[in-house]
Amino acid sequence: MRKELKEEIIFHAKDHPDEEVCGLIVQRDLINFSLVRCKNIHPNPKECFTIDPEEIIRHNTYGKVVAIYHSHPTTKANPSPYDIINCEEIGIPYYIYSVKYDSFYCDIPMSFKPDPLFDRVYLEDIYNCLTFIKDYYIQETNWLSSHEARLEKKQKWSEDPNFQKHGFLERDDKRASSELVVKWIEDNDFFDTGNQTLQEIKDGTLKRHDLLIFNFFESSFYHFGVYTGNGQFVHHPIFQLPQKSCYERYQKQVYKTYRIVDSKV
């Protein structure tokens, strides 16, 4: 998440270190997000949290609730069984902060319905260049077409401690997290489904749905896009709206190109 939101959550949690604090992250417009503290109305606030549904409805009236946050006073940031059940029921991503371990975890439920590809605002972890290409392939191809396949991928990504450690929490961490994703792609751990796999394309040809990995500066993070034909590709630049861009303009910054092919190829 954005650094200022992250710092507000930490401040809120440390204000009440012995119980689970909670609140909402609300999108106000195309640029601004705000954090709203909510009362934990669960009868056992030291171990669980509940937000009054009226709070969520009210803030959806004046903005859009894009995530729910809460703290874990003494346990790791990983979601508890109670968290997982409630997150799936609500269908809104959770940010969890561990006071003891000073770490975050972002849990995006399987029931979450992302905004349309070109109608989403950049928000680290939830809407970024990586989730954009993931959603593109799910919507535009038969990659991860089943619920079971998406669940399997989610579990794999969620269980990787390095990915949760780095995440897309703030700009300084993006190099490390994007390097991890590139390694997954290079090792074919990201897209492989058993029936389909990724094949690096080295002959300079391009086909619709080819995955593009950009490296604009050696000190910057990797960026991801998808070639859509007619000399254009789609992507979600940092802190901007998703867009379609001219491939020739960015061709020199392409690090690698991959194509989804049948595993037997």
Cβ neighbours around 44 below 10 Å, total: 11
Is residue 223 domain-resident? yes
- 11 and 109 within one domain: yes
- 99 and 162 within one domain: no
How far apart CA 123 and CA 229 sit, in angstroms, is 27
Is residue 187 domain-resident? yes
Is residue 134 domain-resident? no
Residue 60 token pair: 């959806």
- 92 and 27 within one domain: yes
Has residue 208 got a pLDDT over 60? yes
Mind listing the pLDDT tens digit for each residue in 190-206? 666 667 788 899 999 99
Mind listing the pLDDT tens digit for each residue in 67-91? 999 999 999 998 999 999 999 999 9
For the residues 126-133, what does the mean pLDDT come to? Answer: 89
Are the C-beta atoms of residues 94 and 110 closer than 8 Å to each other? no
Mind listing the pLDDT tens digit for each residue in 136-183? 988 888 777 666 666 666 666 666 655 555 444 344 466 777 777 788
- 164 and 75 within one domain: no
pTM: 0.84
Domains in the chain, number: 2
For residue 214, give the CATH number of its domain. Answer: 3.90.1720
Check residues 62 and 209 and name the one with the higher pLDDT: 209
- 109 and 7 within one domain: yes
Give the domain extent around 20. Answer: 3-113
Is residue 41 domain-resident? yes
For the residues 120-131, what does the mean pLDDT come to? Answer: 88
Which H or E run contains 243? strand 243-246
For residue 104, give the CATH number of its domain. Answer: 3.40.140.10
- 107 and 42 within one domain: yes
Query: Where do runs of H (alpha helix) occur along 167-239?
Result: 174-186
Is residue 122 domain-resident? no
- 8 and 105 within one domain: yes
How far apart CA 215 and CA 263 sit, in angstroms, is 27
175 burial (CB, 10 Å; 0-12 / 13-18 / 19+) is middle
pLDDT (0 to 100) of residue 10: 97
